[in-house]
Chain A
Amino acid sequence: MYKTDVRGKLIDGEKSLSQISQEILEPINGKTPKWWYAAMGISLAMFAWGAHSIYLTLTQGVGTWGVNNTVGWGWAIINFVWWIGIGHAGTAFSIFLLILRQKWRTAINRAAEAMTVVAVFAAALFPLMHMGRPWLFFFVFPYPNTRGPLWVNFNSPLFWDFVAISAYLLISASFWYFGMVPDFATIRDTTKSKIKKAVYGFFAFGWTGSSREWLRYEGLAFVLGGIAAVLVVSVHSIVSTDFAVSVEPGWHTTLFPPYFVVGAIFSGFAMVLTLVTLMKKLYKMGDFITENHVDAVCRVLVFVSLIMGTAYITEIFIAWYSGSEYEMFTFFKNRITGEYAMQFWAMFIFNAVVPQLFWSKKIRRNMWIVFTISILINIGMWFERFNIVVTSLSKNYLPANWASYSPTLVEIGFFIGTIGMFSAGVLLFFRYIPQIAISEVKMISKYNTQQTDHLKPGHHHDYE
Chain B
Amino acid sequence: MITNKKYLVGVFDDEHTLKDAFQKALDKGVVIEEVYTPYPIHEILHGMKYKTHISHAAFFYGLFGVTAIIGGMYYAAVIDWPLLFGGKPFNTFPSFIVVSIVATILTITILTLLTFSVRSKIYPGKTADIIDIRATDDKFIILLDQDKMGIEIPAVTQLFQSNGASEVYEKESSAN
Contacts and interface: CB of A to CB of B under 8 A. Distances in A.
Nearest to B82: A151
B37 A167 contact: no
Given A155-B92, A206-B129, A224-B112, A230 B105 contact: yes
Given A188-B128, A219-B52, A154 B116 contact: no
B103 interface: yes
A206 B103 CA distance: 30
Nearest to A174: B113
A240 to B, nearest CB: 12
A156 B161 CA distance: 67
Contact of B73 (A18, A154, A167, A214): A154
Contacts of B122: 181, 205-207, 213
Interface in B121-145: 121-131, 133-138
Contact of A220 (B45, B113, B124): B113
A209 interface: yes
A418 to B, nearest CB: 24
Interface residues of A, number: 70
A460 B42 CA distance: 9
Nearest to A184: B136
A148 interface: yes
Contacts of A215: 40, 45, 48, 50, 52
Which bracket fits the contact residues of B? 35 or more
Contacts of B54: 216, 219-220, 223
Given A151-B77, A223-B108, A206 B45 contact: no
B37 A209 contact: yes
Nearest to A205: B122
Interface string B1-22: 0000000000000110000000
A208 B128 contact: yes
Contacts of A190: 136-137
Contacts of A338: none
Contact of B81 (A149, A174, A201): A149
Interface in B19-51: 34-42, 44-45, 48, 50
Contact of B38 (A209, A211, A217): A209
B106 interface: yes
Contact of B108 (A222, A227, A235): A227
Interface stretch (A287-295, A364-372, A439-447): A439-447
Contact of B136 (A166, A182, A461): A182
Interface of A: 16-18, 21, 142, 144, 148-151, 153-155, 159-160, 163-164, 166-167, 170-171, 174, 178, 181-182, 185-186, 188-190, 201-220, 222-224, 227-228, 230-231, 234-235, 238, 241, 439-440, 442-443, 446, 460-463
13 contacts: A16-B138, A21-B137, A151-B81, A153-B83, A155-B92, A167-B102, A189-B136, A210-B36, A211-B37, A214-B39, A219-B54, A220-B112, A227-B109
